[in-house]
């Protein structure tokens, strides 16, 4: 049976970069955030978002994700409401994807809120990606063209590294990409995953 590696870390830790290393080594990778963007385009999810958050978030029938982010990342209750709409759809999507990749011994599930959503309970192995807070803030400000204050408010909505690490099997420090890549190779060896599985 295919085992699931859960990969998580705080905003700006570089989870997606690490996920890409696993993918390059032949491990199928599922990015929960990409899946969430995809399911949020479905009519049923759009309808639920409209009921919960109102029509003002839509411009020409297109969801303004920046506006929605501003609401949910400043209000824990609103974030919980959004997650209650999106997470079940992502879970269903992942199950279908997992079935398509069942020939692999391991697959990787990358999610920012793996612990907060409770999905970590469905993983066989958990890896937390870390990086110093200042590096993380700098990365997100540059990547999302946002402010330091906005990044900090999003960080407050997530678990801290200590809490994540306490429930993880492996930790990858991603302040140096070369060293982080070496850590991925070590983990693959420990889990005995053959590179470029077929």
Residue 147 assigned to a binding site:
no
Cβ neighbours for 181, distance < 8 A, ≥ 6 positions apart = 21
Residue 52 assigned to a binding site:
no
Cβ atoms of residues 11 and 22 within 8 Å? no
Kind of pairing between the strands at 62-63 and 58-59: antiparallel
Tokens of 8: 């998580």
**pLDDT per residue as tens, the chain (198 positions):** 899 999 999 999 999 999 999 999 999 999 999 999 999 989 999 999 999 999 999 988 889 988 998 899 889 899 999 999 999 999 999 999 999 999 999 999 999 999 999 999 999 999 999 999 999 999 999 999 999 999 998 899 899 999 999 999 999 999 999 999 999 999 999 998 754 444
Would you kindly state where each structural domain of the chain is located, as residue ranges?
3-190
Residue 142 assigned to a binding site:
no
User: What's the whole-model pTM score?
Assistant: 0.90
Angle between helices 133-144 and 148-156 (to 10 degrees): 120
Tokens of 138: 């700098």
Residue 26 assigned to a binding site:
no
Measured CA to CA in angstroms, residue 164 lies from 36, 112, 182, 198 at distances of 22, 11, 21, 32
CATH topology of domain 3-190: Rossmann fold (3.40.50)
């Amino acid at each position: 049976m295919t085992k699931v590696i859960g990969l998580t870390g705080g905003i700006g830790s570089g989870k997606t970069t690490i996920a890409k290393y696993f993918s390059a080594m032949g491990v199928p990778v599922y990015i929960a955030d990409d899946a969430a963007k995809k399911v949020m385009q479905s009519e049923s999810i759009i309808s639920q978002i409209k009921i919960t958050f109102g029509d003002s978030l839509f411009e020409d029938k297109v969801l303004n994700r920046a506006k929605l982010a501003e609401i949910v990342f400043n209000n824990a209750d609103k974030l919980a409401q959004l997650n209650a709409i999106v997470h079940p759809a992502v879970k269903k999507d992942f199950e279908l994807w997992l079935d398509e990749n069942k020939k692999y011994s391991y697959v990787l599930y990358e999610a920012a809120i793996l612990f907060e959503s409770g999905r970590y309970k469905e993983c066989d192995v958990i890896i937390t990606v870390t990086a110093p807070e200042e590096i993380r803030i700098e990365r997100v400000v540059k990547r999302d063209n946002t402010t330091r204050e906005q990044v900090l408010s999003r960080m407050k909505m997530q678990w801290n590294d200590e809490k994540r690490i306490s429930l993880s099997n492996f930790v990858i420090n991603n302040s140096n990409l070369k060293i982080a890549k070496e850590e991925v190779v070590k983990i693959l060896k420990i889990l005995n995953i053959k590179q470029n599985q077929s």
